[in-house]
Amino acid sequence: MDSVKPEEKLTRFIFDSNEYRSSDKGLKHSAFMPNNKGKTSVFRISGISDEEIWDIGEREVVPKKGKAMKGRADIPAYEVLKHNLSVDPEEPPPRHANIVSWNLNRQDQRLIAVKLAADANFIEKQ
Amino acid sequence: MIALSNSNTGNGSMNCRGLSITGFGGEYEEYRRYSEDENRAFEKAETFSHKQALLQQLDSLCKECSEEGWDGDDAFAISEDVYDESRKFIRHLPDISFIPMPDIIAEYSGEITFEWSKGKRHVLLVTMCGKNEISYVALFGTNEVQGTVFFGDTFPPVIIENLRRLFLL
């Protein structure tokens, strides 16, 4: 599996108001917080169409979450890597990767997650 | 004598819920006092109803996240202690006009975070862990702050300071 390059684009699928503000379509830090295994699940989306990206979400993430997708948060890999985080490919499913190397301190995690949310672009599902 | 208008007419005028009131004499003074009391009561009632709405929001969020794996992955359930502390936090929110009601976020760690934001890079997060201790992180443009503070029977002044910095500076 190819390693993730800084110029690659990543996306995180967004499911509810816990992760974004419907008022101003702003992302919340929780959109990027790692799970309890220290991983933030993302997909590598460089070189594929918008339709293909949404298809990945519908096929790979919606069944697991059991709810409808509200949107996605696109972010360039270099915005992640600059915080001393890594992006490790982990397939299957195809194009899946995890943001890892999070500091164990929750406050540090939140501060970085706020910055990632600020650097990401929220795209609402039509 | 008193008169109501929607324009500002200088001395001897006051504002009552967006309406300018002008006048003079004892009758005006009496009305002014009455209106100010009524305004204060109105604002208190408004804050009360905002807090009620926030408490209801917390209730439904905690119900949704009451079992492990509520995120479709490995999230911890929101514990009773975190829920109780979050309710206390809402009840203690100060009635200060510049402080808007926060958003409530369930964390995968089983904690509850209250979020205030003023744009992407001006954010304050206050997290309840259910141990009479709250942790906070804030981003003020390029400056960042974080800390932990005891949460007893009063709202921690350091959170008010950070809210002031977020919304007033």
- Unique residue bearing structure tokens 């795209």: A123
Q: Is the pLDDT of residue A11 over 90?
A: yes
What confidence score (pLDDT) does residue B44 get?
59
pLDDT single digits (tens) B49-80: 889 999 999 999 999 999 999 988 889 999 99
Q: Provide residues of B within 8 Å CB-CB of chain A.
A: 61, 71-76, 103, 105-109, 111, 113, 115, 117, 120-121, 123, 125, 127, 135, 137, 139, 144, 146, 148
Give the domain-ending residue among B64, B81, B111: B64
Domain assignment of residue A1, yes or no: no
Cβ–Cβ < 8 Å for B125, B135 = no
Distance from CA of B114 to the nearest CA of A (A): 11
Residue identified by tokens 């890594």 is A86
Residue A61 lies in domain:
9-124
Residue B55 and residue B74 in one domain: no
Cα–Cα distance for residue pair A9/A112, rounded to 1 Å: 18
pLDDT band at B22 (very low <50, low <70, confident <90, very high): low
Instruction: Indicate the range of A11-20, A89-98, B25-34 predicted with least confidence.
Output: B25-34
**Mean pLDDT estimate for chain B:** 82
Kindly identify which residue of chain A lies nearest to residue B135, measuring between CA atoms.
Answer: A107
Of B73, B76, B109, the CB nearest to A106: B109
CA distance B102 to B126: 10
Task: List, in order, residues 6 or more apart from A11 with CB less than 8 Å away.
Answer: A42, A43, A45, A53, A72, A73, A74, A75
- Containing domain of residue B58, as a range? 1-64
Q: Is the pLDDT of residue A55 over 60?
A: yes
Q: Using the beta-carbon criterion (under 8 Å), do B120 and A64 form an inter-chain contact?
A: no
Is A3 within a domain? no
Instruction: Note the pLDDT tens digit of each residue in A92-112.
Output: 999 999 999 999 999 999 999
With an 8 Å Cβ cutoff, are A107 and B121 in contact?
A: no
| Residue A28 three-state SS | coil
Task: For residues B79 and B19, state if they share a domain.
Answer: no
Q: Indicate the SS3 state at residue B75.
A: coil
Q: What's the total number of domains in chain B?
A: 2
B127 and B48 in a common domain:
no
Confirm if B144 and B136 have CB atoms less than 8 A apart. no
Of B64, B88, B107, the residue at which a domain comes to its end is B64
| ipTM for this model | 0.90
Asked which of B44, B64, B84 is the last residue of a domain, the reply is B64
Q: What does the pLDDT look like over B76-94, one tens digit per residue?
A: 999 999 999 999 999 999 9
Q: Both tokens of residue A11?
A: 């996306």
Specify whether the CB–CB gap between B166 and B116 falls below 8 A.
Answer: yes
Q: Is A32 a domain residue?
A: yes
Structural domain includes residue A109: yes
A14, two tokens: 């967004």
**B71 CB-near residues (< 8 Å, 6+ apart):** A35, A65, B108
Report if residue A4 sits inside a domain: no
Is residue B112 within 8 Å of residue B80, measured between CB atoms? no
Same domain (yes/no): B10, B82: no
For residue A15, being part of any structural domain is answered with: yes
CA A2 – CA B146 distance, rounded (Å): 37
What is the pLDDT confidence band of residue B27, given thresholds at 50, 70 and 90?
A: low
Please check whether residues B55 and B81 belong to one and the same domain: no
Assigned domain for A34 exists: yes
Report in angstroms the alpha-carbon separations of B52 from B38, B63, B84, B105: 21, 17, 15, 17
Q: What span, in angstroms and rounded, lies between the C-alpha atoms of B165 and B140? A: 8
Question: Which residues on chain B are in Cβ contact (under 8 Å) with A18?
Answer: 61, 105-106
Q: How many domains does chain A have?
A: 1
The average confidence (pLDDT) of chain A is 94
Query: Is the pLDDT score of B7 beyond 60?
Result: no
Helices B25-64, B80-92: inter-axial angle, 10-degree rounding: 170
